Amino acid sequence: EVQLVESGGGLVKPGGSLRLSCAASGFTFSSYSMNWVRQAPGKGLEWVSSISSSSSYIYYADSVKGRFTISRDNAKNSLYLQMNSLRAEDTAVYYCAREVPNYGFFDYWGQGTLVTVSS
């Protein structure tokens, strides 16, 4: 059974940093591109970042470029999101999602982890 479990969320002050993790199981993690998606309170979903299976290709939404860094450790079946210079508008539930090879849509999602940026 495919499982994605996010962790690392919490309360952080503006300008602070946080590192999110996504632990994957039930599939060959190293064969899949992975994504981070977020949902701010009362808002729709927003794609944040993606990373290819071997980390060769990395993309970011303009809203986080230069502040967030996506990475993965295939040996540990884990995906990460390092978030620096956090702003109030980064407050959201952050989800990791698996991307279907050669198609580009997401077939499995985690339950999410809440990040709150507030003084």
Partner 1 sequence: ETTLTQSPAFMSATPGDKVNISCKASQDIDDDMNWYQQKPGEAAIFIIQEATTLVPGIPPRFSGSGYGTDFTLTINNIESEDAAYYFCLQHDNFPRTFGQGTKVEIK
Contacts with partner 1 by CB under 8 A lie at 4, 35, 37, 43-47, 59, 61, 95, 97, 103-112
Beta carbon nearer to partner 1, 43 or 87: 43
Output the CA–CA distances (angstroms, integers) from residue 77 to 27, 37, 42, 114, in the order listed: 9, 18, 32, 21
CB of 109 to partner 1, least distance (A): 4
Beta carbon nearer to partner 1, 4 or 12: 4
CB of 107 to partner 1, least distance (A): 5
Q: How far apart are CA 53 and CA 34, in angstroms?
A: 7
DSSP bridge partners of 68: 83
CB 96 within 8 A of CB 109: yes
CB of 84 to partner 1, least distance (A): 21
For 11, list phi and psi in degrees, rounded to 5. Answer: -95, 130
CB of 119 to partner 1, least distance (A): 27
Beta carbon nearer to partner 1, 102 or 119: 102
Which DSSP category does 33 fall into? -
Beta carbon nearer to partner 1, 14 or 104: 104
According to DSSP, the β-strands at 10-12 and 113-117 are parallel
